[in-house]
Amino acid sequence: MPVISTNTAANTAVRYLNANSESQSDSLAKLASGSRITRASDDAAGLAISTKISSDVTALEQASTNASHGISILQTADGGAANVSDILERMKTLASQSASGTVTDTERAYIQAEFEELQDEIDAISTSTRYNGQSLLDGTSDFADDTVETAATTTASISSIEGEVASLNATTALADLSLAAGETASFTLTIDGAETTITLGDADSTAAQTITAASIVTAINTATGATNASLDSGNLVLTGTDALEVTVSDFSATGSSSFDASSLGLTTTTDLGSVEDALTIASGSTVSFKIGDVEVELGDEDSTTAQSFTAQDLADAINDALVDADDYTVTASVDSDGNLAISTREEGSDASLTLSDFTGIEASDLGLTETSTGVVAATGTTTEAASTGADVVVGSDYTDTITLTLTTLTTESLGIDELDVSTQEGAAEALAVLDMAIDDVSKARAEMGATMSRFEFRSTQLETSIENLEAAESAIADVDIATEQAKLSAASVKVQAAVAAASQANEMPENLLKLLQ
């Protein structure tokens, strides 16, 4: 029905013109931006996926930079460790020179001077090997290895062992001793070979003398310089502190007085009591055991008295045996509680200590607990600390990390800070300890190299991931130029057609007015 108040055809043409114009604008926006998704309504799911991929790519690019930094840190640390290794080799050369019998103590003093300088240089290198202001090898950086390692240690509680000590106990009460004017009496008190002559009475006295039991005790203690005599319910007690034999002999008196063991209330002059903190071996006997392959022997076949060994005696005997065997991997000492401690120089779970082949002695005689095979075994421990090393992020997630850990390479951590090559014995010890230190540095460098290799492989993987993710994002978000250009051409034609149609529609009411003429 022809009307002039409402131009329906024009409205329809304009509607199509607007739609075609919007389609043309969308195509132009996509072609101009190069992206298929210029607004969320274009592809909501695709937008979410491409945004996530884009953020991952950005994170991976930074992770690749982090990995490069990690490699740089390890290369810097390895350079310092290489110098430490070279210094250790020079120190071993010096120790070998000092250990040789071809040099004298004068030359050894010169060698020790250089040796000390090299020790200082190792500590200087460990501090001066820095990255971004952090010293990498002295244990102060965030990358420091805080792993706690202990040596294989066996502790013998010698205080739990009952040994023997001399103690003479009078069987009858010590009565006062009567001496005539000018008379004296004497006897010899021998404590483990140390002789002391005790003289009673005064040769210059002009009257009869009464020597009381208390004054006899005082005379003994004054002569020996120790509290070796006392009265127990009136009976005389003679004790040698930490001694195995006390002998009273050579009784004599001047004038007509008689003086013998009974005058002191004694019926015997030698007795054995008991005391703790000592291992006792019978006279003329020896005992032995092995630490690793080194045999430790205690006792003297020519001894005529019982033999006592304190914790320090045992430690000295063990160390002497190890030194004689050129074995410096184990040391013995007495701890703060007075116990014998046998420890390996090596620390960590690989450290091991074995005591075996007990001959003439049981492990329990040393305060040790042995296995059914007659062996006392100990191992070191390795306890990882939660704070060990620093985590380097090498992925798109915070859990994608590689822990970068650097071993401390100071003289103290390598166990070489107290080495002294000024003597032939010290040089021999230094040779053994330096070998262990060289192994420790080699192990540290191997760990650095292993971590560096891991960072390099991760860098390659990151580059591959970035490439693949960018390709995936392109497939989702990038515009297909050919297809979109075709859409633009079609939209342009439609716009032109809609404009023409709208123009024709606008002329229709004017044509209807002709009907009124």
Q: What is the pLDDT of residue 479?
A: 76
Is the separation of the CB atoms in 86 and 106 below 8 Å? no
**Within 325-420, where are the H helices?**
411-414
* Mean pLDDT value of segment 109-113: 96
- Band (pLDDT 50/70/90 cuts) for residue 168 is confident
Query: Could you tell me how many residues make up the chain?
Result: 517
Share of the chain above pLDDT 90, in %: 44
Per-domain residue ranges for the chain?
52-147+385-469, 155-161+278-383, 165-273
The mean predicted confidence, pLDDT, of the chain is 86
**What is the distance between the alpha carbons of residues 187 and 447, in angstroms, rounded to a whole number?**
73
Higher pLDDT, 20 or 163: 20
Q: What is the pLDDT of residue 273?
A: 55
* Mean pLDDT value of segment 91-106: 94
pLDDT over 90 at 393, yes or no: yes
CA distances from 245 to 71, 167, 216, 438 (A): 71, 8, 21, 51
pLDDT over 90 at 95, yes or no: yes
Is the separation of the CB atoms in 330 and 352 below 8 Å? no
**pLDDT tens digits, one per residue of 264-291:** 888 767 665 554 566 777 778 889 999 9
pLDDT over 60 at 222, yes or no: yes
Q: What is the pLDDT of residue 305?
A: 67
**pLDDT tens digits, one per residue of 10-26:** 888 888 888 888 888 88
Q: What is the pLDDT of residue 85?
A: 97
- For 165-273, give the CATH class: mainly beta
* Mean pLDDT value of segment 141-152: 90
Q: What is the pLDDT of residue 501?
A: 84
Place of tokens 């013109």: 17
Neighbours of 349 (CB within 10 A): 13
Cβ within 8 Å of residue 291, ≥6 positions away: 318, 321, 322, 330, 342, 353, 354, 355
Place of tokens 């805080």: 146
Find how far residue 315's CA is from the centre of its chain. 24
pLDDT over 60 at 128, yes or no: yes
* Mean pLDDT value of segment 143-158: 87
Is the separation of the CB atoms in 404 and 390 below 8 Å? yes
- What does DSSP say about strands 148-156 and 134-135: parallel, antiparallel, or unpaired? unpaired
How many helices (H) and strands (E) the chain has is answered by: 8, 24
**pLDDT tens digits, one per residue of 303-312:** 776 677 888 8
Q: What is the pLDDT of residue 266?
A: 85
* Mean pLDDT value of segment 467-473: 88
Find how far residue 476's CA is from the centre of its chain. 53
| Three-state secondary structure call for residue 111 | helix
Burial of residue 96 (CB within 10 Å: 0-12, 13-18, 19+) is middle
The CATH code belonging to domain 52-147+385-469 is 1.20.1330.10
* Mean pLDDT value of segment 121-140: 95
Q: What is the pLDDT of residue 42?
A: 75
Q: What is the pLDDT of residue 435?
A: 94
Higher pLDDT, 123 or 243: 123
Lowest mean pLDDT among 74-78, 101-105, 479-483: 479-483
pLDDT over 90 at 379, yes or no: yes
- What does DSSP say about strands 194-201 and 279-281: parallel, antiparallel, or unpaired? unpaired
**Diameter of the chain by CA atoms?**
187
Higher pLDDT, 417 or 368: 417
* Mean pLDDT value of segment 363-383: 86
Q: Which residues of 238-256 are buried (b: 16+ CB within 10 A; e: fewer)?
A: bbbeebbbbbbeebebeee
- Band (pLDDT 50/70/90 cuts) for residue 186 is very high
Helix (H) or strand (E) holding 171: strand 167-173
pLDDT over 60 at 162, yes or no: no
DSSP structural state of residue 375: -
pLDDT over 90 at 352, yes or no: yes
Is the separation of the CB atoms in 189 and 180 below 8 Å? no
Higher pLDDT, 227 or 214: 214
**What is the distance between the alpha carbons of residues 62 and 119, in angstroms, rounded to a whole number?**
41
pLDDT over 80 at 489, yes or no: yes
Q: What is the pLDDT of residue 307?
A: 76
